[in-house]
Chains A and B, each alone.
Chain A
């Protein structure tokens, strides 16, 4: 039982990070139907920006904000340079461009900062809280991760539901053509989506740096793919779905590792993806979209 609760806690903090990345995937997919493979690498860039900001002596919150702003700009630049010219091009071309951008960021990152693993500065002195006679441990880092995730999630819900940009995003995602006819600036709306999604990924990057204390230029690949899995599990294009999907993926992974099968952790994530795709392709929270002829 203690093992279960411990892994549940670890899983929820890992899952929060997946959820933050998954939100960006799901928003971008919801609006332009693109699996933005570069998203995982934006998360990596976010971690590095956070790393440099904290080594400059900035505190946790300023570093987080700087990282989010830089990545928001990066996201918009990627969208404008690589994806916008391809609007209307075959889907495969766009998907491959996304993979290309992803590899560009990874290897450009290696060129720029070197391939070695960096140790993230200790922003918080680790404090451990013990429960159940010390058999269950929760650290203040895990609490910070979960709190920041929930706050960002609430902020996002507010943006999407109560601001003009958010309403435009929902309209474009529902029907791009009609939104355009209604006078919504689709290009700007898509850029805003990329900016918000990328800044959430950046936040996840900083949090993961704090949690694991180590970052490297290839760190975006696996979490990126898994966050996509999380987005699909929750129903891609559905924001609460990405949150739930991320958390459940994190918990499942932690449980698999906790019960001694850590080598199969990645396989389990992808097996989950395939099962969901086969059984309910629209995801847990999605609704079926009929194909138009």
Chain B
């Protein structure tokens, strides 16, 4: 099904059915999916409240741009270096801060995100406040598609692996998880590093699609945007992250002309969802074909409805 979709879009791009506007939004959707799912490892699966994700994205963007633009390496090296740089910073940030809990962690990660932005702002080598211009546009549909699919699949596999389960245990109850012999700090750092790594990938894709990057792009607002994807979709639900990344990107494309209105609607949506459904649209439920069949049976009256709030899962 994914291949079919990929083929259709490639065909559309080649034949010119999909014009630049749609292409831009399609690419944005993919980048946002990577960002949302990567933050979901930290916030959703492990329950660590991080709100400095744009910082990692910035490191990926700048790291890869320096590699391809200043040092002349090919694009894949750029992506890899960008992602690894983000991951390394992820470890460095994660080690000390993950001792903090809840609100304090949130505010510390926010602080780190801002520090990263201010530091980049002050490095002349990468253009300071003016940013880096003239990055070659290497990000193609093939690259972005396969990296998005790969990210989602890797995270999905991680989630169902022993390590992923350990992370979920930490989310559910940290003290109980520790009592059961889970090395909490280690898993928190692993989750944090993975999240940073994929954010770095998203950053490099972003940099090599838009030709230009500026420190202001990766401010608190960006972190917040990513957070909205995760929370709206449901903390801990990959499907939710993907759906809300797609939905909200399309919504903001429609509201492009009314930038302030877009943010007002965004924030109202967020508050309302939190009031009505604090667990997000999908809760922790995941999409699966078995779940779809159950839903179908229930809707057609073949199965017996149980009255649960969601059948998807």
Which residues of A are at the interface with B, using a C-beta cutoff of 8 A? 29, 33-35, 82, 85-86, 89-97, 99-104, 106-108, 110-111, 115, 221, 225, 228-229, 232, 263-264, 266-267, 270-271, 273-274, 277-278, 281, 291, 293
Contacts and interface: CB of A to CB of B under 8 A. Distances in A.
A257 to B, nearest CB: 13
Given A111-B260, A228-B107, A277-B100, A92 B114 contact: no
B261 interface: yes
Given A90-B278, A104-B271, A232-B107, A274 B97 contact: yes
B292 interface: no
Contacts of B10: none
Interface residues of B, number: 41
B112 A270 contact: yes
B275 A82 contact: yes
B262 to A, nearest CB: 8
B266 A96 contact: no
A244 B268 CA distance: 35
Most chain A beta-carbon neighbours within 10 Å: one of B51, B118, B220, B227? B118
B49 A92 contact: yes
Interface of B: 43, 49, 51, 96-97, 99-100, 102-104, 106-108, 110-112, 114-115, 118-119, 121-122, 175, 220, 224, 227, 231, 235, 260-261, 263-264, 266-268, 270-271, 274-275, 278-279
B10 to A, nearest CB: 37
22 contacts: A35-B107, A82-B275, A86-B278, A90-B278, A92-B43, A92-B235, A97-B271, A100-B274, A103-B266, A108-B264, A115-B260, A229-B107, A263-B118, A267-B115, A267-B119, A271-B111, A271-B115, A273-B107, A274-B111, A277-B100, A281-B100, A281-B104
B122 A264 contact: yes
B268 A273 contact: no
Given A35-B107, A89-B278, A107-B260, A96 B231 contact: yes
A274 B108 contact: yes
Contacts, number: 120
A89 B260 CA distance: 29
B278 A93 contact: yes
Dominant SS among interface residues on chain A = helix
Nearest to B266: A103
A112 to B, nearest CB: 10
B268 A100 contact: yes
Given A86-B275, A103-B263, A111-B261, A95 B108 contact: no
